[in-house]
């Protein structure tokens, strides 16, 4: 399997590698800062919509934070096999720094 081979190669080179083989649950990535939580997780792997909603709730964040991040292209919303996910966005020249969201 190609993925297993890649993990072995990275491990041999001293790169700490982990395979994420299943749903991470909704109890992940909570720091108390919604914007940082979303960007940090999306940079590594997609976040299911239900997980994103749970992080919003735990952070007591206004849903407008999520809409602002989508608008500024910090994250993108995608669909795959009847589920919605959020992924890392493609920050453009016109994007504002995260501190201004």
Q: Could you tell me if 38 and 75 are in contact, meaning their C-beta atoms sit under 8 angstroms apart?
A: yes
**Residues of the domain holding 81:** 30-90
Residue 48 counted as domain residue: yes
- Which pLDDT band holds residue 42 (cuts at 50, 70, 90)? confident
| Mean per-residue pLDDT over the chain, rounded | 78
- Whole-Å CA distances, 85 to 7, 16, 51, 62: 25, 26, 9, 19
Higher pLDDT residue, 96 or 64?
A: 64
| d(C-alpha 68, C-alpha 61), whole Å | 12
pTM: 0.61
Q: Containing H/E element for 11?
A: helix 2-12
Percent of the chain with pLDDT over 70: 74
Looking at the structure of the chain, the number of domains it has is: 1
Say whether pLDDT at 99 is over 70.
no
Instruction: Name the strands in the sheet holding 83-88, side by side, starting at the edge strand that comes first in the sequence.
Output: 47-48, 83-88, 75-80
Mind listing the pLDDT tens digit for each residue in 67-84? 998 998 888 999 988 999
Return the CATH number at 83: 1.10.10
In a domain, 66, yes or no: yes
């Amino acid at each position: 399997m190609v993925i297993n081979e890649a993990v072995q190669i990275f491990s041999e080179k001293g790169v700490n590698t982990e395979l994420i083989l299943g749903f991470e649950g909704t109890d992940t990535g909570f720091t108390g800062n919604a914007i940082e939580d979303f960007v940090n997780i999306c940079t590594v792997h997609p976040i299911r919509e239900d997980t994103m909603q749970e992080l919003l709730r735990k952070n007591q964040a206004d849903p407008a934070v999520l809409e602002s991040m989508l608008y500024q292209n910090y994250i993108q919303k995608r669909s795959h096999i009847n589920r919605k996910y959020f992924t890392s966005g493609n920050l453009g020249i016109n994007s504002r720094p995260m501190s201004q969201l």
